[in-house]
Amino acid sequence: MVEPILDIRNLSISFSTRVVDIPAVMDFSCQVMPGEAMGLVGESGCGKSTVALAILRDLARIGRITSGSIHFNGRDMAKLSEHELRRIRGSEIAMVYQEPMASLNPTMKIGRQLTEVLFIHETVTSEQAYARSLEMVKAVKLPDPERIMGSYPHQLSGGQQQRIVIAIALVNSPRLLIADEPTTALDVTVQAQILDLIKAIQSEHGTAVILITHDLGVVAEFTERVMVMYAGRVVEDAGVDEIFAQPTHPYTS
Mean predicted lDDT score pLDDT of the chain: 90
Range with the poorest average pLDDT among 155-159, 201-205, 248-252: 201-205
- For residue 53, what are the CA distances in angstroms to 33, 67, 94, 100? 19, 15, 11, 17
pLDDT at 183 over 80: no
The residue among 103, 219, 223, 212 whose CA lies nearest residue 158 is: 103
Q: Angle at CA 212, nearest 5°, toward 210 and 21?
A: 110
pLDDT of 31: 94
207 near 175, Cβ under 8 Å?
A: yes
The whole-number average pLDDT for the span 109-126 is: 92
| Whole-number pLDDT of residue 185 | 65
Q: What pLDDT score was predicted for residue 178?
A: 94
Percent of residues, the chain, with pLDDT higher than 90:
56
Residue 146 CB neighbour total at 10 angstroms: 10
Give the residue-averaged pLDDT of 80-108.
88
Neighbours of 8 (CB within 10 A): 20
| Residue 75 confidence (pLDDT) | 92
Distance CA 22, CA 109 (A): 40
Q: Return the exposure string of 150-183: e unless at least 16 CB atoms fall within 10 Å of the residue's CB, then b.
A: ebebeebeebbbbbbbbbbbbbbebbbbbbbbbb
Average pLDDT of the segment spanning 150-158: 93
- Position 126 pLDDT exceeds 90: yes
- In which band, very low, low, confident or very high, does the pLDDT at 106 lie, cut at 50, 70 and 90? very high
Query: Across residues 103-124, what is the average pLDDT?
Result: 92
Instruction: Encode pLDDT of 202-241 as tens digits.
Output: 888 789 999 998 888 888 888 999 999 999 999 999 999 9
Whether residue 184 has pLDDT greater than 80: no
Per the model's pLDDT, the better-predicted residue between 147 and 196 turns out to be 147
Report the Cα 207 to chain-centroid distance in Å: 11
Segment 65-82, tens digit of pLDDT: 999 999 999 999 989 998
pLDDT in tens, 22-61: 999 999 999 999 999 999 999 888 999 999 999 999 888 8
Q: What pLDDT is attached to residue 172?
A: 87
Instruction: Give the whole-angstrom CA distance, residue 175 versus residue 87.
Output: 13
| DSSP label of 122 | S
pLDDT of residue 6: 96
Q: Give residue 123's pLDDT band: very low, low, confident or very high (50, 70, 90).
A: confident
